[in-house]
Chain A
Amino acid sequence: MTKLYGLLTGLVMFLCQDLSAQTKEVTGKVVSAVDSSALADVTVKVKNSQINTVTDADGTFRLTVPANATTIVFSYVGFSEVELPISDLMSVSMNPGKGALNEVVVVGYGTASKRELTGSIAKVAGTEVANLPFQSFEAAIQGKAPGVVIESGSGKVGQAMKVRIRGTSSISASSQPLYVVDGLPVVSNSVSDGTNDPTNPLVDINPNDIESIEVLKDAAASAIYGARAANGVILITTKKGKLGKKTQIELNLSNTFSEPTRKRKFMDARQYLELVREAGTNDGKIDFAEGINGYPTEQEAIDDYVNSYEGYLSGNFALGTDYKNYEVNTDWQDQLYRKNATSQQVDLSATGGSDKTRFYVSGFYNKQDAIVINNTFTRYGGRLNLDHKATDKLTIGLNLALNRSQLDRISNDNAFSTPGQLVAQLPMSPLLDPATGELNGQTLYGNALFDAKYNSDEQVTFRSLGNAFADLKILPSLSFRSELGADVLNLYQESFSGKQTIDGAGIGRATAITTSSASLNTNNFFTFTPNINDNHKLTSIIGMSYLQNDTKQSTTQGEGYPTDAVKNLSGATDITFGTSTNNRYTFLSYFLRANYSFLDKYLLSVSARADGSSRFGENNRYGWFPAASLGWIISEENFLKNVGFLSYLKLRASYGLTGNAEIGQNNFLGLYGVSNYPGLPGFVPTQLPNDDLKWEKTAQFDAGIEFGFFKSRLTGEVDYYQKNTSDLLLNVNIPTSTGFASVLRNLGTMYNKGVELSLNSRNFDGEFKWSTSFNIAYNVNKVQDIDGQVITNGVQRAIEGEPIGVFFLQEFAGVDPANGDALYYDSTGKTTSNYSQAQRRAIGQSNPDFTGGFGNTFSYKGFDLNIFFTFVQGNKIFNQAGIYMESGLGNGFDNQTTRYLDRWKNPGDITDVPRTGFSFGTNDRSSSFWLHDGSYIRLRNATLGYTLPSKVSSLLKLSSARLYVSGNNLWTATKYEGDPEVNTATLGNITGGVDFYTIPQARTISLGLNVKF
């Protein structure tokens, strides 16, 4: 430690040397090319030197430069960099930098010019996520950043989203990226009820507050976040005010209507009854042929079976209606969707600043009805971003957001009480009991409409995200920044199941959960930009960071309610469960980075981070994560300078190490848990120790080309990467004869490699503007070595030599034309109708090969049109509910999909859908019969807007007004019979692509108004 201090002090001393030379003075003004407004805080810098200043509130600047300086560079976040020859009075106009190669991007602990970057960073501007009818900002960036795969999982609102940057890189630890908001790492994993689907704490960030989103993909970009960066890092920067700018008030209003994208097709009453009778016929024939019950004739056997099935169903569920003539034909699927799902969003913001202080303040209200009944998400809150130049050297500021959100939830997909499972009910079951006119309580399965009517599950979250900072310019070449932030999340959840419902079990049950998560984070770092000479440029940072999170949770359950009227726990006569837990984790980190450029064309960057965490034992408490990268701007070389069509060409390569520690707390310790046998409080061993547990490591190589043609009208980027993850944090199975099932060890290797391409072009630039963007990413994942283990989760596995989450299933081989039996391939490749002889094999992956997006933006006069498609290709979806809804009654009398209309009926029928049968069913066990191609292309969003002519808006005393209509998921092409964007196991590494009565995505249409005053 003393060594480090000595080093730093030395560094500080070095800065104090006086640098003097012959100088001259330059002045000027910088304006936005869009509206000619003055731009404050633009960095004005002598090219190839560290001599710089920033513009004042009125856009003016004054800079003393060396006599021999020739060029000045102007840079500003969100705008393209401008280089101009020095003149005494400079007039500069800057363009917003969308897609431009020399725009400024946010990086870990700083900003950089895209041109000088040697890492792989995808940037999405805030304008691309604002005012779109998505649940949260991640959904809005789906398909926009190559290599970033985002899955919403279902059409429920407020749910967690699966985000994978360059593939899944862990098996037992989390593969979700790290999210950093204005420098503060935020809680992004669900802190909600563990028995329901995970929720998404990132919904507390209002998309309309976002200035930009940067995705750090390779090691060069992300290793500065060290131990938490192996899954990539997503930096979110919120909007700031502008110095000296007149206050601008902006109002957004929108109203959205939603409906399901794709419904399945189920049988109607006639088709279902025919199916049941046919099942009886088939079963009767089998019984007679095999002499099971000794019927004297086949017809008697058939009659007996048909009467028994039909009698059972009609006697129990037709409720006296004339089922034979299909008097009742209930479409139960209709019952699970809202008739009228609407959402409203209101945003009001103000931004501006004086010459020393700038601010951004906003407030919003948003209510979203899911397409499924009883699922609603409501949030409101505000943000204040403020900074103030206290002196020439010191700037202080605060970013603060406060939110309240409320999520009204439904059960998870695997509960009889979820509306999603209503599709199992029979079309002959009336919705209302004809005798009473009340909801029908005599259904095949408990009627989840009772749960919908009498249950409630309400989760309220208060979230404050705050970050205070001070920026001190010690010297022109040295500054120090200190940030202190807190992410405080309080969640209160009350759920109640009424006495008449499935979950209420006749007595009424309730649960109350409180969670309090408080993160404290501080970042302290020096930025050092010494002026060496014109040919050499160095930017470096060195600093530390400390993060501490305390999560406290308590759960109480009660039952025995006298009435449904009292829904909280005060109505319970018996408190059945109570617990409270406290968990803390800490990270202490030191980091440094140096970016060096020579002649503005040879770039070198090195970074390193040392991370210590409470999650590991003393043997391996600290991890070390270095990265290095090189860049070469070839277009600056003389031999390319004269190639007319080539405006920019850069090669870059990086290699580095990042880590993953997302394993929860205390995993290296031997542990005993507390047990509560009546009268005998005790301890139960729960975990074996592993003193040597350490970080999971990902070594990533990345090579990229960035290019611009035709005066940068066509720009693009190609990246190749290989991520090798080793020392996997793996729950390694051990013999349970030890008393334990697994130990968490660092074992195994896995890789992801792939190629990413993005292209942007400005096709027309005049009054009619047309630009096109396209990106595509290809990723291959392979589990290389997990010590020969087979890690199974449902029908999916991690096995060596296969991609993670490969479907491992019996392969369906068609239908025996002779008897309608389902056939499978056995170990010799022959077909068999004996399921126990069927061979399981790896039969497709849940993660796609290709993902990407394709968009066009047009504008003409006041009109603008934006059309954006996303696509995935190469993944499979397993309809896990198929064994109930699509198995020809083999697993119960559930209503069946219309796929079974093509079933085998008579000997000789050639079909790929087996016969129906209840007592002697076939096709009633998991197989590839329900595994489908999950590829799709989808019109993700289309927006048409009209901005009033400025003459009209100024008459209305507005600075601008825009009306728009916007739609999501308007069109989809897929072979999957349901919605292809479903995943019931939302966040799994091994599980994925599984549909289990999962709610499809919403198709939405929004009408909106955006007004600026």
Chain B
Amino acid sequence: MNSLNKIFALILISMIGFGCNKKLDVKPQQNITPEQITNGDDVKAVLFGAYSLLQGPNAFGEQFFLASDLLANTNHVSFAGTFIDYRDLTRKTQISTNAIATGMWASSYSIINIANTVIEKANLVDEDERDAVVAEAKFIRGIVYFELVKYFGLPYSKGNVTSNLAVPLVTEPVYAYDASKHNPIRATVDAVYKQVVSDLNAAVADLPDLGPNFRAGKYSALAFLAKVYMNMLNYSGAATAANQVIDGDFSLNFNFFSAFNNANNTNEDIFAIQQTSQSNSGTTNNGINTFYAAYTLQPPLISGRGDVQASPNYPSIFQPTDARGDFFYNGANIAGVGGLYTGKWQQFYKAIPIIRLSDMFLIRGEANYRLAGAPIGGVSPLDDINTVRERAGASTLLIITSADAFVDERFREFGFEGDRLWTLKRTKKAVGTLAYDDPKLVLPIPQREMDVNKNLIQNFPY
């Protein structure tokens, strides 16, 4: 008996011994923990993570420009799909739980948190790269705040920028949630624009001219700065920045068509989002191509949902010789509704141009025209607008009678590229039947955000 007891005592000890080893310490195998970010390469990997979110459907992969085009849809786009949140934007009947507003808000702050993390951890990066890494993070933070301030605040052109509310300004990374620190108030339109300008200027100072692998470079930052200044009605700043970009190593493609559906950036792209079949903004229910490409079963084209169609009136704004007026095809959406489709987003897995060189010509031209002095860059506004028109095959203008020439040209050049709403807002032009500052052209602060952060004030009239 005694020997048996000993055997079982031994078994017991070995059983208990299980607890003393590390069986309960299981490390994640497809993720890393924050402690594993230990060197410059790790920090750069986090920076690259931000590009992945920029590519997502809640950012430049779709909604950053689709949402604004739906809001400004008059004679431009129509929504033929069954998704109610998109349809609401088109009808301006969006409510505070609108998934697109919620998605853009959440995704933007995820990107901002990455940028803040990279800036905070920059001391892990080698000194010779450190400034450029910080500058790139600030570029990303700046362009995302630019989208947020446009969507969630009244336009800068409305004035009262130091009292109109935009979005919370978060510039510190969040490593663990602390309710006392992490329920920020909304900053003013002015404060957010100042942050955007400051971030982009820092990026201009420390980024290389062109980023490797189509990453942001100095010119990307300058191009955004030009757009920011236009919104702020700072025309000399805009013209100066645009002029610097035009003086860089970019050129308009020979064909208008060839600016789109390219595997990577063309000479015309100052900043673009890359897509491949392995890494893209979506193929079934989201992503820019999913919405804009018609439902087709004609190989080798990949079928989209075809939910966003061109308004039948839109092609009528082009001259017959204008290639931009021919860049359409007929099709139907997944629910069988026939219509006209833009060629800009017909092919999946292609680079998504965010800023093209023609934008810089039109900004420099418009800003110089509005400044009405000696043109910055030494090129006349007429020559700038004609540069863009000639490439498209439209007739050259002989004279510019008003700044509206640029507004109209932008509509022709940047249809379906998310420009229309912001151009109308900064020029105080009506959006269909709504005034440029109509509150329904400003998105609601997401209801889920209002529910958790009691320091937020909702936009009127949501």
Contact = CB atoms under 8 A, between A and B. Distances in A.
A565 interface: no
A682 B45 contact: yes
Given A506-B303, A678-B279, A736-B449, A614 B26 contact: yes
B336 A444 contact: yes
B264 to A, nearest CB: 8
A892 B24 CA distance: 55
B266 to A, nearest CB: 16
Interface stretch (A167-175, A580-588, A818-826): A580-588
A738 interface: yes
Interface in B23-77: 23-26, 28-34, 36-37, 42, 44-53, 55
Contacts of B51: 675, 677, 680, 682
B146 interface: no
- Candidate in B1, B4, B52 with the most chain A CB atoms within 10 angstroms: B52
B338 interface: yes
Contact of A586 (B24, B173, B297, B448): B24
Interface string A89-106: 000000000000000000
Nearest to A691: B176
Interface in B272-304: 274-279, 283, 295-303
B32 A671 contact: yes
A767 B13 CA distance: 59
Interface string B1-24: 110110011011101101110011
A507 interface: yes
B379 interface: no
Given A316-B336, A506-B301, A671-B32, A683 B26 contact: no
Given A5-B12, A505-B303, A789-B451, A683 B168 contact: no
A677 B55 contact: yes
Interface string B308-351: 00000000000000000000000000111010000000000000
Contacts of A682: 44-52
A836 interface: yes
B393 interface: no
Interface stretch (A9-17, A715-723, A850-858, A898-906): A9-17
A527 to B, nearest CB: 13
A1 B177 contact: no
A13 B8 CA distance: 11
Interface string A1-44: 10011001100110010000000000000000000000000000
B37 A672 contact: yes
B18 A588 contact: yes
A738 B184 CA distance: 9
A499 B24 contact: no
A474 B4 CA distance: 8
B106 A741 contact: yes
Contact of A739 (B23, B112, B336): B112
A735 B110 contact: no
Contacts of A4: 16
A535 interface: no
A583 B48 contact: no
B353 to A, nearest CB: 15
A544 interface: yes
Nearest to B35: A670
A679 B30 contact: no
A8 B93 CA distance: 71
Contact of B336 (A13, A443, A500): A443
Contact of B276 (A621, A678, A689): A678
A884 B117 CA distance: 45
B9 A5 contact: yes
Contacts of B34: 670, 672, 689
A672 B276 CA distance: 23
Contact of B170 (A317, A688, A737): A737
Nearest to B29: A582
Given A524-B11, A560-B300, A678-B275, A685 B82 contact: no
Contacts, number: 261
Contacts of B283: 505
A670 B176 contact: yes
B11 A685 contact: no
A507 B347 CA distance: 13
A676 B183 contact: no
Contact of A445 (B45, B48, B300, B335): B335
A685 B279 contact: no
Interface in A535-592: 543-544, 546, 548, 559-560, 574-578, 581-586, 588, 590
Nearest to B301: A506
Interface residues of B, number: 92
A710 B441 CA distance: 78
Contacts of B448: 733, 736
A836 B335 contact: no
B194 interface: no
Contacts of B105: 736
Contact of A735 (B95, B277, B453): B453
Given A677-B48, A685-B110, A445 B30 contact: no
Contacts of B46: 672, 682-685
Contacts of A543: 15
Contacts of B277: 559, 574-576
Nearest to A8: B12
Interface in A502-528: 502, 504-507, 524, 526
B114 interface: yes
A581 B30 contact: yes
B430 interface: no
Nearest to A582: B29
Contact of B176 (A577, A583, A688, A735): A688
A1 B26 contact: no
Interface string A410-448: 000000100000000000000000000000010111100
Interface string A702-719: 000000000000000000
Contacts of A316: 336, 338
A9 B182 contact: no
Nearest to B351: A678
A671 B8 CA distance: 43
Nearest to A672: B32
A676 B451 contact: no
A680 B48 contact: yes
A892 B453 contact: no
Given A574-B277, A577-B278, A741-B106, A685 B26 contact: no
Contacts of A736: 105-106, 109-110, 446, 448-449
A836 B112 CA distance: 33
A743 interface: yes
Contacts of B402: none
Contact of B49 (A666, A675, A735): A675
A581 B31 CA distance: 10
Contacts of A766: none
Contacts of A505: 283, 297, 302-303
A671 B33 CA distance: 5
Given A588-B18, A588-B24, A738-B174, A673 B31 contact: yes
Interface in A906-920: none
B188 interface: no
- Candidate in A502, A505, A575 with the most chain B CB atoms within 10 angstroms: A505
Nearest to B11: A524
B28 A499 contact: no
Given A576-B277, A684-B53, A740-B177, 16 more contacts: A5-B16, A445-B334, A445-B336, A506-B297, A507-B300, A507-B301, A559-B277, A581-B30, A676-B52, A683-B42, A684-B110, A734-B452, A735-B449, A737-B182, A789-B451, A891-B82
8 A-B pairs closest in CB distance: A739-B113, A682-B48, A675-B52, A682-B49, A680-B48, A684-B49, A614-B26, A505-B303
19 contacts: A4-B16, A13-B5, A526-B8, A574-B277, A575-B278, A578-B278, A584-B26, A612-B19, A614-B25, A666-B31, A671-B32, A672-B49, A677-B55, A682-B44, A682-B48, A684-B53, A737-B170, A739-B170, A836-B93
